[in-house]
């Protein structure tokens, strides 16, 4: 009887509840400075209460809808756990330090902005984290830019462009796993789909960096700091081209369409064998996988002073590095390299659970269906569909103040709409990342915008015009969609094909 009494919400109620929840989450994250978890839980309670009391929805139906939303993302959550393991062992075995070491070798005054873009891209691809990249290598690049006479907003914008390229394209990134989980795609199909929009955008940004960088080509590069970073990394890790093997193995397996979980775990095994061959014990390897890597020599350089610091410099044979420089670089490397491990992913996983539960409640009560139904009345083309999702992601970033929610909420809203017109799930996941991930650092009150501004010491609105990748990628994504380039369709047999129109 109760099920017969339930009704669909009106548009006013749906939008009003969405605005209320956006206000609660934004106030919690931005005004009170708390993590988004509990504000999201509060919004879930409010939405469920409205569903039960006002709409007469059975609690069992709401609960099942929320649990179904979580179940869809369980594969991505397992992948996130593996990613923590990957990062920990890739650091201990020298894989990530080797990528950074050779990335720093390409710096040159005449192409400083291009080199900054590439180095930050390499680091973020290797770590899967835009925040870590900007807060470590990005900060170092800001110092080098100051010495070259490159304006801080320009340097910061390019750093963020490179950092967020890796954040959306790296299989180690949490957002790169969350987007396909919400959309119903899989990790490597999602990454392949993003190449259509991100590839051309990256080329455009690289050309802009070359042209813009010519203005600052006459500066002198601070090679002392770069040399110090490379020397200290070499003292702590086994740096070499062998470090490229685990990432290349993962890439090759992905190209062979190996499922994400065994593909990523192969990278764990390869790095573990490297670490064992370098003399690390089995206990050390397991601890790195579980708790992450703890910087050794870098941490000592950061913490020691006076005679103790001089003695360490002598013991490591790095006598050509000034003590002050050794301390500064040691701290930068400690911040960059002390991370990873299974435990490190638990904060993100708990937030993903909370966000998915909230999205599931909103969907089960019919609020998302009503909002999407109203929007879709004016959408007539694939380009219009992609533009609508991208706009929704930007609005979510604007009002919800959190990058995860800008993926989860629009993803849950538009999933069924994409299925109805046979657009492949990877199209939805691509749109989510093209805007949800990339526009978050462009909004001052968003958690990403606040962090990047604080880490780089540049106001968000000052670096915004130079964060080329972050605002060009959504535009390119919309453009190629209207041009019917790189459109994936889900056929009746369950396969994805690229075509301008739905096959048949």
pLDDT in tens, 249-275: 877 887 787 777 888 888 899 999 999
Q: Which domain holds residue 121?
A: 75-344
In a domain, 186, yes or no: yes
Exposed/middle/buried for residue 242 (C-beta within 10 Å: 0-12, 13-18, 19+): middle
In a domain, 227, yes or no: yes
Q: What's CA 9's distance to the chain center, in Å?
A: 34
Nearest-angstrom CA–CA distance, 409 and 400: 10
In a domain, 272, yes or no: yes
Instruction: Say if residues 297 and 316 touch (Cβ distance below 8 Å).
Output: yes
Q: What pLDDT is attached to residue 1?
A: 40
Nearest-angstrom CA–CA distance, 463 and 394: 18
Buried b (16+ CB within 10 A) or exposed e, 2-24: eeeeeeebeeebbeebbeebbeb
- Strands 488-490, 496-498: pairing kind: antiparallel
Residue-wise pLDDT for 106-155, tens only, equals 776 778 899 899 988 988 887 787 877 887 678 777 867 766 778 889 99
Total domains present in the chain: 1
46 confidence band (pLDDT: 50, 70, 90): very high
Strand partners, 490: 496
In a domain, 21, yes or no: no
Instruction: Say if residues 243 and 99 touch (Cβ distance below 8 Å).
Output: yes
Residue among 180, 178, 86, 165 at smallest CA distance from 124: 165
Which of 65-74, 237-246, 342-351 is the most confident on average?
237-246
In a domain, 387, yes or no: no
In a domain, 357, yes or no: no
Residue-wise pLDDT for 307-335, tens only, equals 888 888 888 888 788 888 888 888 878 87
The yes-or-no verdict on residue 183 having pLDDT over 80 is yes
Q: What pLDDT is attached to residue 147?
A: 60
The yes-or-no verdict on residue 37 having pLDDT over 90 is no
In this structure, what are the phi and psi dihedrals at residue 36, rounded to the nearest 5 degrees? -75, -15
The arithmetic mean of pLDDT across residues 376-387, rounded, is 85
Strand partners, 488: 498
Residue-wise pLDDT for 149-172, tens only, equals 788 899 999 999 999 998 899 888
Q: What pLDDT is attached to residue 427?
A: 94
Instruction: Say if residues 418 and 425 touch (Cβ distance below 8 Å).
Output: yes
Nearest-angstrom CA–CA distance, 80 and 265: 12
2 confidence band (pLDDT: 50, 70, 90): very low
The arithmetic mean of pLDDT across residues 66-77, rounded, is 79
Q: What pLDDT is attached to residue 219?
A: 61
Nearest-angstrom CA–CA distance, 254 and 260: 7
Nearest-angstrom CA–CA distance, 258 and 251: 10
DSSP letter at 495? -
Q: Is 28 in a helix, a strand, or coil?
A: helix
199 confidence band (pLDDT: 50, 70, 90): very high
Buried b (16+ CB within 10 A) or exposed e, 300-311: bbbebeeeebee
The yes-or-no verdict on residue 389 having pLDDT over 60 is yes
Q: What pLDDT is attached to residue 493?
A: 81
Residue 398: C-alpha distances to residues 270, 392, 395, 414 (Å): 42, 10, 5, 18
In a domain, 28, yes or no: no
Q: Is 129 in a helix, a strand, or coil?
A: coil
Residue 428: C-alpha distances to residues 78, 316, 419 (Å): 21, 51, 10
Residue among 329, 168, 105 at smallest CA distance from 321: 329
In this structure, what are the phi and psi dihedrals at residue 477, rounded to the nearest 5 degrees? -60, -45
CA dihedral (152, 158, 161, 163) in degrees, to 10, reads: -80
Residue-wise pLDDT for 286-299, tens only, equals 999 999 888 888 88
401 confidence band (pLDDT: 50, 70, 90): low
315: tokens are 């013991």
DSSP letter at 433? I
**Cβ-proximal residues to 168 (8 Å cutoff; 6+ apart), any chain:** 175, 176, 194, 198, 433, 434, 437, 438
The yes-or-no verdict on residue 3 having pLDDT over 50 is no
Nearest-angstrom CA–CA distance, 212 and 207: 8
- Does the predicted TM-score (pTM) go above 0.75? no
In a domain, 95, yes or no: yes
The arithmetic mean of pLDDT across residues 221-231, rounded, is 80
Nearest-angstrom CA–CA distance, 248 and 293: 22
């Amino acid at each position: 009887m109760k099920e017969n009494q339930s009704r669909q919400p009106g548009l006013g109620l749906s939008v009003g509840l969405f605005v209320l929840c956006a206000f609660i989450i934004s106030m919690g994250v931005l005004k009170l400075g708390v993590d988004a978890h509990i504000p999201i839980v509060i919004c879930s309670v409010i939405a469920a209460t409205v569903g039960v009391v006002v709409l007469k929805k059975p609690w069992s139906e709401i609960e099942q809808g929320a649990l179904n939303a979580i179940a869809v993302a369980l594969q991505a959550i397992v992948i996130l756990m593996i990613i923590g393991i990957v990062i920990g062992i890739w650091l201990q075995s020298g894989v990530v330090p080797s990528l950074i070491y050779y990335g720093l070798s390409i710096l040159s005054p005449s192409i400083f902005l291009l080199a900054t873009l590439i180095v930050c891209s390499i680091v973020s691809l290797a770590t899967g984290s835009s925040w870590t990249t900007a807060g470590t290598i990005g900060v170092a690049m800001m110092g080098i830019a100051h010495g070259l006479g490159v304006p801080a907003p320009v340097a910061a914008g390019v750093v963020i462009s490179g950092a967020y390229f890796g954040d959306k394209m790296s299989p180690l990134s949490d957002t790169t796993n969350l987007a396909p989980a919400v959309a119903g795609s899989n990790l490597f199909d999602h990454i392949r789909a993003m190449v259509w929009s991100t590839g051309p955008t990256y080329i455009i940004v690289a050309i802009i960096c070359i042209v813009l960088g010519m203005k600052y080509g006459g500066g002198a590069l601070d090679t002392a700091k770069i040399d110090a970073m490379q020397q200290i990394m070499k003292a702590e890790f086994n740096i070499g081209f062998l470090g490229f093997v685990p990432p290349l193995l993962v890439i090759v397996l992905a190209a062979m369409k190996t499922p994400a979980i065994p593909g990523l775990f192969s990278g764990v095994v390869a790095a573990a064998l490297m670490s064992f061959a370098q003399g690390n014990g089995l206990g050390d390897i397991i601890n790195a996988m579980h708790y992450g890597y703890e910087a050794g020599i870098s941490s000592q350089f950061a913490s020691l002073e006076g005679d103790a610091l001089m003695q360490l410099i002598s013991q490591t044979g790095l006598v050509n590095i000034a003590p002050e420089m050794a301390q500064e670089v040691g701290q930068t490397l400690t911040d960059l390299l002390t991370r990873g491990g299974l435990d490190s992913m638990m904060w993100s996983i708990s937030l993903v659970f909370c966000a998915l539960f909230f999205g599931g409640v909103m969907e089960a009560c019919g609020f998302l269906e009503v909002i999407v139904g109203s929007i879709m009345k004016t959408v007539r083309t694939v380009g219009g569909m992609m533009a609508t999702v991208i706009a929704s992601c930007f609005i979510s970033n604007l009002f919800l103040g959190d990058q995860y929610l800008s993926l989860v909420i629009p993803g849950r809203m538009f999933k069924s709409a994409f299925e109805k017109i046979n657009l492949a799930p990877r199209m939805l996941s691509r749109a989510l990342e093209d805007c949800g991930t990339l526009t978050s650092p462009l909004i001052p009150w968003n958690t990403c915008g606040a962090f990047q501004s604080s880490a780089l010491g540049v106001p968000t609105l000052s670096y915004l015009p130079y964060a080329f990748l972050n605002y060009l990628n959504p535009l390119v994504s919309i453009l190629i969609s209207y041009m019917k380039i790189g459109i994936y369709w889900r056929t009746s047999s369950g396969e994805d094909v690229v075509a301008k129109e739905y096959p048949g």
